[in-house]
Amino acid sequence: MILLYNPPSSASRKPVLPMSLLAIGALLEDRHDYMIIDGNLESDPLAAISQAIITHRVDILGVTVMPGPQLADAAPTCQALKRQHPDLTIVWGGYFPTQHYDIALNADYVDYVVRGHGEEAFIGLLDVLATGNIPMTLPGIAYRAADGQIIAAPPAPIPNPDKLPDYPYHQLNLERYIRPTFMGQRTLPHHSSYGCPFFCNFCAVVNMVNGRWLAQSAERTANVVRGLVNDWQLDAVEFYDNNFFTSEKRVAAFSEQIMDLNIAWWGEGRIDTMIGYSDRTWALMRDSGLKMVFLGAESGSDETLKRMDKGGRASTQKTLEIAEKMAAHDIVPEMSFVVGNPPHPDKDVEDTIRFIRKVKQVNPRTEVIIYVYTPVPLSGELYDQAKADGFAFPETIEGWLSADWQDFVQRRSVNMPWMKDPIRKRVKNFERVLNAYYPTVTDVKISQRWRGLLKTISAARYHTEFYSYPMELRILHKLLRYQRPETTGF
């Protein structure tokens, strides 16, 4: 028996459909007995796993591991399981072991690492282990040899999702994952494509896919959505693709095929891709229920966009143009910005704050999400500058589990060498004023009356650009608990 484990992905343990494990499970269906345990749904995940190991004679445990809360759970859980069940083979996959496989394998409770997309690599590993052999140079697999040397094949190539089986939803209590969002009362996610054809040097996806993008056909994606709507009475769907809108032809065809479902939907795209869409495609997306698109605006500086390797077509002008176009089609832009980029983080912050104000002038409904720049292990001007300023990743799992690094991976770090506290406070204070003056449209609980009150109280600060010491807004937030903009997925 094989057990797949999804560690808790947040402190609140919000249930998020573990699609990476469903994707692996889809290939296991006709080959191996398996089960999935979701730590977000368990009060004591360790006890649940240990009981399953005994009851079902589990001999292989596969764990998906993101840095942050998942790593913080996976490390002690797997360490305890290895002590209790020393013959258990533990395999880690996901973003963290893909990027830091050597650190993962230095832990004596991790036997193998799957690098990159794990569907076919994990099946290949199971096949080799079933023969009693070792994986040698199996694509996507890393392990520590008997002599202590780490053997690591390159990350597994992304599989074509159009050639993979449908998710085995019967392996989970799907009702536990349906949740209300600003789009509807019954929302579930789907993953219809893998990868991204771009090479932004601040994005962790680049290391996993190397510029490749493969997708389900428009027809198959529409059929999956139709099945979810019919079987589970959904009224909204989120697409967790890294870049759902890569192909205009596919998006237009998908929109036409779900027109009769009367649902709302959300996805992530590129500004410089979508700005080239025809008015017909924009109308199709709107009429099919597209309510919001997550867009990486990233910066208010064209110079910084160039350093980010956003591609020759990315520009602040295109960001303003798409904000205007989406206002015309009544689709909300949800824009993320990365501030505090080296080598001049203070100027970078001010450039982006001024630019966000321009975006809001063009389209006041634009959602704004601000992140502080955090490096990824990818060669490029930003990462090279970060290293020159003294930045270095931890070399042990214990280091990654420290409070400082847990804050780092959740973009709350106060220890970036180039990001001093006055700059950070400037960003946080601006966010507080901005979010009060423009309350997020995704907060379905806040009334129009309270929205008006927030706008009135914050107006003077916003118009005079005086963001310092917003004590009255801090008090108001404690009283109102109004929601801050955040991505609907992830």
Kindly list the domain boundaries of the chain, sorted by start residue.
2-152, 178-480
Q: Is 116 helix (H, G, I), strand (E, B) or coil?
A: strand
Contacts of 315 (CB under 8 A, 6+ apart): 272, 302, 305
Cα 19–Cα 23–Cα 28 angle in degrees, nearest 5:
135
Nearest 5°: phi and psi at 321?
Answer: -65, -40
pLDDT band at 140 (very low <50, low <70, confident <90, very high): very high
Give 18-34 pLDDT, tens digit per residue: 999 999 999 999 899 99
193-195 and 264-269 beta bridge pairing: unpaired
Give the burial string for 168-181 (b: 16+ CB within 10 Å, else e).
bbebbeeeebbbeb
Same CATH fold assignment for domains 2-152 and 178-480 = no
Mean pLDDT of 390-402: 86
What is the DSSP-derived secondary structure letter of residue 156?
A: B
pLDDT band at 345 (very low <50, low <70, confident <90, very high): confident
CA dist 409 to 172, 199, 469, Å?
28, 20, 27
User: Token digits for 133?
Assistant: 């052999």
Give 246-266 pLDDT, tens digit per residue: 999 999 999 999 999 999 999
Give 293-318 pLDDT, tens digit per residue: 999 999 999 888 888 776 557 899 99
CATH fold for the domain made of 2-152: Rossmann fold (3.40.50)
Distance CA 5, CA 365 (A): 39
Q: Is 298 helix (H, G, I), strand (E, B) or coil?
A: strand
Average pLDDT of the chain, as a whole number: 89
Side-chain-side CA neighbours of 90 within 13 Å: the count stands at 30
Give 45-86 pLDDT, tens digit per residue: 999 999 999 999 999 999 999 999 999 999 999 999 999 999
- Is the separation of the CB atoms in 182 and 265 below 8 Å? no
Distance CA 240, CA 192 (A): 8
Domain 178-480 has CATH 3.80.30.20: yes
* pLDDT for the residue 373: 80
Model pTM above 0.75: yes
- What is the longest distance spanned by two Cα atoms in the chain? 71
The answer to whether residue 174 scores a pLDDT higher than 80 is yes
* pLDDT for the residue 334: 96
Mean pLDDT of 131-160: 90
Give the burial string for 312-349 (b: 16+ CB within 10 Å, else e).
eebbbebbbebbebbbeeebbbbbbbbbbbbebbeebb
The answer to whether residue 487 scores a pLDDT higher than 50 is no
